[in-house]
Amino acid sequence: MFTKELLPLLKAAAKIGHPNETRVVFTSSNGHNFAPKGIIDFDDPSLPKEGSFTRYGQSKAGNILQATYIANTYAEDGIMAFSLNPGGIRTEIQRHYPRFVGWLLGLFLQPVERGAINLLYAGTSPELTMKDSGKYFTPWAREVIPKKGTQDFVLAKKLWNYLEDETAGKY
């Protein structure tokens, strides 16, 4: 819960900084759409009976939920939060695919520099204000609505509390 540990510093920065400048950005992906039906399986979060796409989807949906939690819980402290999909980016992850699949994907993937566009937009754009906090962005700096349930504050709070309980005293 790195973000939790940073909260005192974020609160302090928001007090002395300019409005709309203190931000937390969570990287998700379109893979969040592969999350299980309930978004997060709290009974067995490792999803041993599911495939890697579902596990990946749950983790990316969790990032959106964390942004939702921060955006709603710390707005009065001046902290904004966003989540985003950096886009289909040509990275080293393609090395794990069969050679032909990696080559084929390479035809459609963007250079790694383009992957920074959404991160920079969410982290620095003066266009974004507190009323935008909690939004999800897709390439290239476009707001979209993610999978239903991933911006549910009740679920976001449940996840936050679950993660706090799971990591208590371990770090």
Burial degree of 11 (CB within 10 A; 0-12, 13-18, 19+): middle
Residue 134, helix vs strand vs coil: coil
What is the Cα–Cα distance from 15 to 68, expressed in whole angstroms? 21
Catalytic residue among 4, 11, 56, 158: 56
Catalytic residue among 29, 59, 83, 133: 29
AA identity, residue 105: L
Whether 74 and 17 have beta carbons less than 8 Å apart is answered as no
Whether 109 and 88 have beta carbons less than 8 Å apart is answered as yes
Please indicate whether residue 29 is annotated as part of the active site.
yes
Catalytic residue among 49, 52, 59, 60: 60
Please indicate whether residue 56 is annotated as part of the active site.
yes
Please indicate whether residue 157 is annotated as part of the active site.
no
Catalytic residues: 29, 56, 60
